[in-house]
């Protein structure tokens, strides 16, 4: 079975417990204004071009058969996206990694073999293992099921990072093979959620309760974005304290480091301009702790 991924990150320490490998699948049903992985949103392949880092060496020009890359009379690299066929050859030969190809098909066993290279590290770290992320990995439920099943056959700890905006059928495919769900919870108020992500959150809240009812371990991830969902702290706490299997809550301070990615992909930069102060994050954590929740430092 083949799936569509855009990255595999080894020695990840923020995508679940222990040392992990994170497999990033392409495609996401939400369009969060603060998304720091814009290359994960679309289902199709994309080519990133960091124009400010280009030395105009011409390697891409020689590799491109469609004429999408040219060097003008002033020695400037011109990239015409309308001519690009997304073959990815230019990114392969670019010596400075100025061009990055996002999105490729991969076989289950190809990914499993890559993940197993670091099995000794997973074993040596507490509950280390593999995490499926995105985008929204459960937009490819059959592929996720096949991957997770193989990982469990190799006795690996498995985690699924999800926004929750998926069908219950997709969840049912992966639940038997998932040790931990990393569940994004952006807002409780439906209007706030729709304004921030483009979608209502009814399905997300229902799925969270469903997973909890099955006794699966859940780590909540709350991206804290001033001016957008910073008023949702107590509402999130009220919901979570009524659930039984929340292992901990992580308050993730918003950052705008991804602005260069938006530019490189020729995508509209929707990133908010205000960064939360440390005191704001600590206050949010304190509120959630006072409500009886285990909150990560």
Q: What is the CATH number of the domain that holds 86?
A: 3.30.70.20
Residues 84 and 47: beta-carbon distance below 8 Å = yes
What pLDDT score does 37 carry? 96
Q: What are the structure tokens assigned to 98, written together?
A: 């100025």
pLDDT tens series, the chain, 297 aa:
999 999 999 999 999 999 999 999 999 999 999 999 999 999 999 999 999 999 999 999 999 999 999 999 999 999 999 999 999 999 999 999 999 999 999 999 999 999 999 999 998 998 999 999 999 999 999 999 999 999 999 999 999 999 999 999 999 999 999 999 999 999 999 999 999 999 999 999 999 999 999 999 999 999 999 999 999 999 999 999 999 999 999 999 999 999 999 999 999 999 999 999 999 999 999 999 999 999 999
Same domain, 178 and 167: yes
Same domain, 93 and 224: no
Distance CA 180, CA 163 (A): 14
Distance CA 201, CA 190 (A): 6
Same domain, 63 and 81: yes
For helices 278-290 and 233-240, the axis angle rounded to 10 degrees is 30
pTM for this one?
Answer: 0.95
Same domain, 247 and 175: yes
Is 191 within a domain? yes
Bridge partners of 224? Answer: 253
Q: What are the structure tokens assigned to 68, written together?
A: 């999408």
CATH of the domain at 249: 3.20.20.70
Same domain, 235 and 174: yes
What pLDDT score does 101 carry? 97
Strands 129-133 and 77-79: what pairing?
A: unpaired
C-alpha to C-alpha distances, 48 to 5, 17, 28, 39, 78, nearest whole angstrom? 15, 31, 18, 9, 13
Same domain, 84 and 217: no
Same domain, 171 and 224: yes
Instruction: Give burial (CB, 10 Å; 0-12/13-18/19+) of 24.
Output: buried
Q: Looking at residue 295, what DSSP letter applies?
A: B
Residues 130 and 88: beta-carbon distance below 8 Å = no
What pLDDT score does 16 carry? 96
Same domain, 185 and 274: yes
Distance CA 182, CA 46 (A): 26
Q: What's the total number of domains in the chain?
A: 2
Distance CA 188, CA 58 (A): 51
What pLDDT score does 68 carry? 98
| Domain final position from 82, 102, 122 | 102
Same domain, 248 and 153: yes
Is 275 within a domain? yes
Domain holding 267, by residue range, is 2-44+106-290
What pLDDT score does 238 carry? 98
Residues 242 and 205: beta-carbon distance below 8 Å = no
Instruction: Give burial (CB, 10 Å; 0-12/13-18/19+) of 224.
Output: buried
Q: What are the structure tokens assigned to 278, written together?
A: 């440390």
What pLDDT score does 67 carry? 97
What pLDDT score does 213 carry? 98
């Amino acid at each position: 079975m083949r799936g569509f991924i855009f990255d595999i990150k080894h020695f990840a320490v923020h995508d679940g417990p222990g040392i992990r490998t994170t497999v990033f699948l392409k495609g996401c049903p939400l369009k969060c204004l603060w998304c720091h992985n814009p290359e994960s949103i679309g289902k199709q392949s994309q080519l990133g071009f960091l124009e400010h880092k280009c030395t105009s060496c011409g390697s891409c020009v020689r590799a491109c058969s469609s004429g999408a890359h040219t060097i003008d009379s002033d020695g400037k690299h011109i990239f015409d996206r309308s001519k690009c066929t997304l073959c990815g050859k230019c990114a392969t030969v670019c010596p400075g990694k100025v061009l990055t190809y996002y999105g490729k098909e991969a076989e289950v066993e190809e990914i499993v073999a890559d993940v197993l290279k670091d099995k000794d590290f997973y074993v040596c770290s507490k509950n280390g293992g593999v995490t499926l992320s995105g985008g929204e990995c459960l937009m490819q439920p059959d592929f996720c099921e096949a991957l997770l099943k193989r990982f469990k056959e190799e006795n690996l700890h498995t985690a699924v990072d999800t926004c929750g905006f998926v069908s219950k059928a997709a969840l049912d495919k992966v639940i038997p093979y998932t040790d931990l769900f990393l569940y994004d919870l952006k807002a409780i108020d439906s209007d706030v959620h729709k304004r921030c992500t483009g979608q209502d959150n009814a399905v997300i809240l229902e799925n969270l309760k469903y997973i909890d009812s099955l006794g699966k371990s859940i780590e909540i991830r709350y991206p804290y974005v001033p001016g957008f969902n910073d008023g949702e702290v107590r509402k999130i706490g009220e919901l979570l304290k009524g659930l039984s299997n929340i292992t901990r809550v992580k308050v993730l301070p918003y950052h705008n480091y991804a602005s260069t990615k938006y530019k490189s992909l020729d995508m509209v930069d929707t990133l908010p301009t205000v960064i939360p102060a440390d005191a704001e994050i600590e206050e949010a954590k304190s509120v959630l702790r006072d409500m009886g929740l285990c909150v990560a430092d």
